[in-house]
Amino acid sequence: MKCRYGVSALTAFVLFSLWVLSPAPAKEQGTQPPNGKTRHDAIMPFDIDAKAALLSEPETGAVLYAKNPDQPLPPASITKIMTLLLAFEAMQEGLASWDDLILVSKNAWRMGGAQMFLEINQEVSFGDLLTGISVISANDACIAVAEHLAGSEAFFVQRMNERAAKLGMSNTRFQNTTGLPVEDHYMSARDIAILAREVVLKHPKLLELEAMREFTFNNIRQFNRNPLLGRYPGADGLKTGWTKEAGYSLVGTARQGEVRLISVVLDTAGTAVRSNVSRQLLDYGFRNFVMREALSPGDILGHLPVSKGKERTVAVTVDKPLRAILPSGRERDIEVLKNVNGDLRAPIRQGEKVGTVQIVVQNNPVAIGDIVTVSKVEKAGLFTRFFRAIGDFFKGIWTAIFGSS
């Protein structure tokens, strides 16, 4: 009799515990890239006549070709992409506008090299200054923009370096807004591609300026020096650079069909060489790679267990389309790796983030996104949870005795 009472008490205790604490779901295992990075440098399939180079696809950030990508080198006028980025971000934040009138200072007027030929105390619109920097690489306009936004070029350069750090440009140091030769002023090909990607993805108006073939100011007509414009299919930017120390450099970008590419070539021997190697890189990318959508919102990645919910599982999908740029003919090499949070507990909102997903090609992460719930899951009432716990308890006993069928 005592034994019977003891078993009954034990059973009651177990049922009460199951009622209060329903079983936690098991975790679905996945793999994450080291440090959350998705970068991969393609093995060089050929060499080009440049000290450093990089070819990338901006949507995914995939690197398709790299030669000495992290070597710091003088960037010359490629520096001005950062000057322009900060100017466009200032407009975006309401700190400046296209029609602002800027009074030209003596510092701006005295700048040599490429210029708009600004006059001291001349009033020039902010938009004209940005156009002059974009199309004719005007040094005097860079100073006028910097002084308008920060009070002096020195303070503006400080902002340039801060912005570079936030973008992850780890091999970049600015000393001026123009790229004119000065000690300890450098960028790497990878950092330039990061900067160009920010412009391409977030500031299409700036890209429109860079695509202009000519600009007339003060009745002086000047032409864009980018050799790709009007000569390479889909080319619409981005910036040339030259000084004796830097050699001939070019950041080019072109779009063909669904694919945009960014090419960076640094320190070539002449204008013809930088044009040819830029074309060579872009041709390689457009001819040998394709863009494919690996996952779309609505694609069900699985069903995750939910504790204390009216429904015991919830379907999950991705929050946005995940695309990957792949070598032609390698579309079947796409792998999907999931890493989901454990211990999902109701209530759960529709669209709630519950993990991450990676698109991997040949063991290289090429895209990453969030895993979200397809529907909401409300919390179950005590009555439902009680009888569910009883059912789970006896199911566990049955499985322990007879095994699963």
Q: What single-letter amino acid sits at 375? A: S
Residue of 56, 77, 134, 188 with catalytic role: 77
Residue 361 and residue 120: Cα distance in Å, rounded? 57
Name the nearest CA neighbour of 167 among 61, 240, 281.
61
Token pair, residue 115, equals 């210029």
| Active site annotation includes 296 | no
Residue 189 and residue 349: Cα distance in Å, rounded? 43
Residue 218 and residue 35: Cα distance in Å, rounded? 52
Long-range contacts of 296-302 (CB under 8 A, 24+ apart): 296/321, 296/322, 297/321, 300/374, 301/336, 301/338, 301/357, 301/371, 302/28, 302/338
Residue 331 and residue 361: Cα distance in Å, rounded? 9
DSSP class of residue 99 equals T
| Active site annotation includes 77 | yes
DSSP class of residue 211 equals T
| Active site annotation includes 125 | no
Q: Given the structure tokens 């393609």, which residue do they identify?
A: 42
Residue of 56, 134, 137, 249 with catalytic role: 137
Residue of 51, 56, 67, 80 with catalytic role: 80
Q: Are 75 and 187 in contact (CB under 8 A)?
A: yes
Name the residues annotated as catalytic.
77, 80, 137
